[in-house]
Amino acid sequence: MEEIKRNIPRDLFLHLLAVVTLYWSAVTFIMLMWQFINYFFPDALNFYYEGFNGTIRMAVSSLVIVFPVFICVSWYLNKLYSREAVVRESKIRKWLIYLTLFIASLVIIGDLVSTINTLLTGEITIRFILKALSIILVAGIIFGYYLDDVRKDTPTKLAKPFAWATSALVLIAIVGSFFIIGSPATARLVQFDQQKISDLTGVQWEVVKYWQGKEKLPTNLTDLNDKISGYTVPNDPQTNVAYEYNILNATTLSFELCAVFNKPSQANNPKMAYPYPVGSDISQNWDHQVGRTCFERTIDKQIYRPLNTVK
C-alpha cells in the first residue's frame, strides 16, 4: 500500500502528460488537415484567407515537439504497466481515459450536428465534408483505441500499430506541409518581401502627406525624414539599400516606388493566402515578380487635398 501511495504523483504526472499531449497533437493535426483542405479546395467567398502559412507553421511546430512526447510517454506507460499492474488499474488512469472518451464522443456528435446544420443552410461544399471527416477520423481513432484499451486487463495489442500508424500519418502531414509553405529559407525570403511591401506602403503615404503639406512631390525620399514626428524612411531590410523613388510627372503628381523582391507575389493564386501582412493596404496593387518591380502611383488632388485649402 505504501508503494502505491508513493507512486501516485508519478502516475498522475505521466497519465496527465499523456492525455494533454494527445489532445494537443489531435487538435494541431486537425488544424493542419484543414489548411490542406483550404489549399486544395479554395473557397471563392474566402479568397483572402489570412494566416494560411502561419497556421501551417504553428501546427507543424506543435506536432514536431508535442507528438513525440506523447509517443514516448505512452511507450513508457506501457512498459510501466507490464512491471506494475497496479498502475494500469489506478483510478487516475481510468478517470483520464473515460474523460478522453467523453470528449471524443462530444467532438464526433458536435461535428455531425455542425455538418447537418451546414447542409440545411445550403452552404455545404467539399470543404465542409472533408473537414467534418477529418474530425470524425481523428476523434474516432482516439475513441476506438482507448475504448479497446480500457476494457482489457492487459495492455492492448493495438498499442504498437497505433503508434506506428499515427506516427506515419503525422510524418506524411509534416513533410507534405513543406511542399505548400516551402522551406525555412524560403519562408525567410518571403518575410523579407512582406517587410518591403509594408515599408513601401508607409513611404507611399508619407509622400501623400508631403504633397498635402507642401503642394509638391518630394525630390527624393530623404525629404520625408521628419525629426519632429520621428519618421525616417526605411531601407531595404535585406540589403540595407535605400528604396528607389522616381517622379514620373510632377504636374499630375505621378511617382513610382521600386524594390527588389525574392519571390513572386501570390495574390492572384486562389490556393494561397494573401501574402502580405494585415497592416498593409491591400486595396492597392502590390503584385510583383522576382527581381526589381516598380509600383506607379498618382495622387488624386480631389481626394488628397492640400492642407491649407481644407476648410
The 254-261 sheet, strands edge to edge: 244-249, 254-261, 291-298
- In angstroms, the CA 173 to CA 158 distance is 22
Q: What is the pLDDT of residue 37?
A: 84
pLDDT tens, residue by residue, 86-112: 777 777 777 887 887 788 778 778 767
Q: What is the pLDDT of residue 266?
A: 64
- In angstroms, the CA 311 to CA 305 distance is 10
More confident residue, 51 or 238: 238
pLDDT tens, residue by residue, 117-132: 766 776 557 777 888 8
As given in the structure block, the three cell numbers for residue 21 are 499531449
Which phi and psi (to 5°) does residue 255 adopt?
-150, 170
- In angstroms, the CA 60 to CA 29 distance is 8
Residue 207 CB coordination number (10 Å): 22
Beta carbons of 204 and 257 less than 8 angstroms apart: yes
- In angstroms, the CA 40 to CA 55 distance is 16
pLDDT tens, residue by residue, 273-283: 433 333 333 34
Q: What is the pLDDT of residue 246?
A: 94
As given in the structure block, the three cell numbers for residue 23 are 489532445
Task: Label residue 262 by pLDDT band (50, 70, 90).
Answer: very high
Among the residue ranges 6-10, 34-38, 47-51, 75-79, the one predicted with the least confidence is: 47-51
More confident residue, 3 or 86: 86
Beta carbons of 205 and 304 less than 8 angstroms apart: no
SS3 letters for 240-274? CCECEEEEEECCCCEEEEEEEECCCCCCCCCCCCC
- In angstroms, the CA 288 to CA 264 distance is 6
* Mean pLDDT for the chain overall: 80
Residue 144 CB coordination number (10 Å): 14
Q: What is the pLDDT of residue 109?
A: 80
- In angstroms, the CA 162 to CA 99 distance is 20
Give me the helices (H) in the chain, please: 2-40, 52-83, 85-88, 91-120, 126-150, 159-181, 184-214
